[in-house]
Amino acid sequence: MDVVHTAIRVSDLEAARAFFLEGLGLTEKRAGTIDGVENVWIGGDHGSVQLQYDPDGPDPRPDRTTIDHLAVSVDDVDAETDRIAAETGCAVLEPPRTVDAFDVRISFIEGPDGYRIELVETLS
C-alpha cells in the first residue's frame, strides 16, 4: 500500500497548474473531467497532487486545522525558495531554516488559493 495523491480544490485551474508545473517544476501526470469537475494530477516520482476545479462550486478556503501544508522535496531549499518566489510572485511565509532533529532544511511559501507549500531539502 502507498499514498497515491492528495486532492485540493482550486479557484483557477490554469493558474494552479502553472504554479505547480512551472514554479515548482513538477510533471503533469494526467487530466480529465469527472461530473463537470476538471481534474489535473501533478507530481513527481512518489505521488501527486490532484488539482480539482469545480466551476459551480464555492471558492476553496484552505483551513490549517484540516490540512496544514503540502511538502515538496528540493535539492537546495535556499535557491529554490528564491527562484520560486521571484518567478511566481508567491509570498515566502517562512524563510529557509534548518531543523536539526530531522536533518532537513525547510521553508514555506504560499501556493494557489492560500495553500501552504513546504520546500524540504534533506541534508544527508
pTM, two decimal places: 0.93
| 8 residue type, one letter | I
Is 76:22 a contact under the CB 8 Å cutoff?
no
What is the domain class of 5-122 according to CATH? Answer: alpha beta
CA distance 68 to 44: 20
All three cell numbers of 53, joined, read 476545479
Burial of 119 (0-12, 13-18, 19+ CB in 10 A): buried
pLDDT at site 57: 92
* b/e burial code for range 13-52 (CB count within 10 A of at least 16 → b): beebbebbeebbebeeeeeeeeeeebbbbbbeeeebbbbb
Consecutive 10-residue runs of the chain (124 residues): their mean pLDDT? 91 97 96 97 94 94 88 97 97 98 98 96 96
